[in-house]
Amino acid sequence: MMKSMTVVVVGGGVVGFSTAVCIAEALPYCSVTLIADRFTPDTTSDVAAGILICSPFPDIPLEQQQRWFKETIDHLLAIAQSEQASEAGVLLSSGWQIHKELPVDKVPFWSAFVLGFRIMTDRELKRFPDHKFGQAFTTVKCECSNYLPWMEKRFRKAGGQVVKQKVNDLQELSSQGYDVIVNCSGLGAKSLVGDSQVYPVRGQVLKVQAPWLQHFIRDGEGQSYIYPGMHSVTVGGTRQVDDWRLEVDPEDSQDILERCSSLEPSLSRARVLGESVGLRPSRKNVRVEREMVLLGSRQVPVVHNYGHGGWGVSLSWGTALEALGLVRKCLHERPPRARL
């Protein structure tokens, strides 16, 4: 079958690959190309612990955010319950989110979509004397160092093409004559489309060997967390706004280990396997919308899907489906191109 439409996705993180897979699988008449200058293991997604929880964006309808989260966790739960789970790096993880003060939302907007959500008992909270409230639940952990190669394989199987290239400006794509451009460039959107509302929130984590730890522990403010994974335990973290440093800061590592050891004393005996830094692509509100952009002499529809902050993994499939819907609209409304 002749593929009659061409779509390009810019960005090779979890949002880019999710979106590219959604489009390639749902629209077989589309030829889909994914272009990125960095791939796993060198993306922001690779630094993420990939635990599914979320904080709300202020100006996006809550039911839309609930839908994005539910679609993502349902997609990942299906993988976790399949024979593909270990290859895809998707597993179930149970644990506690603890709070020093009573949170505004005792029951967060995503609580109905994780498994077995409940308020922690006093007996459970006893081991965290500085914390007076907590939530216990089972969620999904998605390890991008496995998930991204697995998604790339799935994308190629659906006929997708992958190109390693830095796109500095959307104008560089004008000569290819794409029918739709999908912008999943994360922090790169700052320069790619000149969005000054995107800013980095620096996160540093350590990977430690502590196979005896079976439960995650997350301080509700998101500063300190311990996430057991397939091969190691991720401990973090930092939330340094407008900080672009990608180098590991030894003082941060020391601080992280001290904070996390106060929550889980046995961590002081764990061997550090590695340290990494990622810059969360933050924005007051994630941007999932379409606009017409003049490329050369042609008006080209651009679908934006970026600015997820620390929630890229948690909302990846839901916002990818949203972007797919916008791509469909663009293709249906598209004026016929002169075939010379």
Provide the token pair at 299: 């008006």
Is 307 assigned to a binding site?
no
Q: 114: part of which helix (H) or strand (E)?
A: none
- Residue 81, exposed/middle/buried by CB under 10 A (0-12, 13-18, 19+)? exposed
Chain mean position to CA 172: 26
List Cβ neighbours of 90 (8 Å cut-off, separation of 6 or more): 76, 79, 80, 84, 140, 141, 142, 143, 146, 147
Is 139 assigned to a binding site?
no
Is 38 assigned to a binding site?
yes
Is 310 assigned to a binding site?
yes
Half-sphere exposure of 44 (CA within 13 A, CB side): 30
Is 225 assigned to a binding site?
yes
Three-state DSSP state, 32: strand
- Residue 36, exposed/middle/buried by CB under 10 A (0-12, 13-18, 19+)? buried
**CA nearest neighbour of 298 among 171, 158, 164, 162:** 171
Contact 111, 137 (CB under 8 A): yes
Contact 299, 179 (CB under 8 A): no
Is 37 assigned to a binding site?
yes
Provide the annotated binding site for FAD: 37-38, 44-45, 167
Provide the annotated binding site for D-dopa: 225, 280, 310
Provide the annotated binding site: 37-38, 44-45, 167, 225, 280, 310
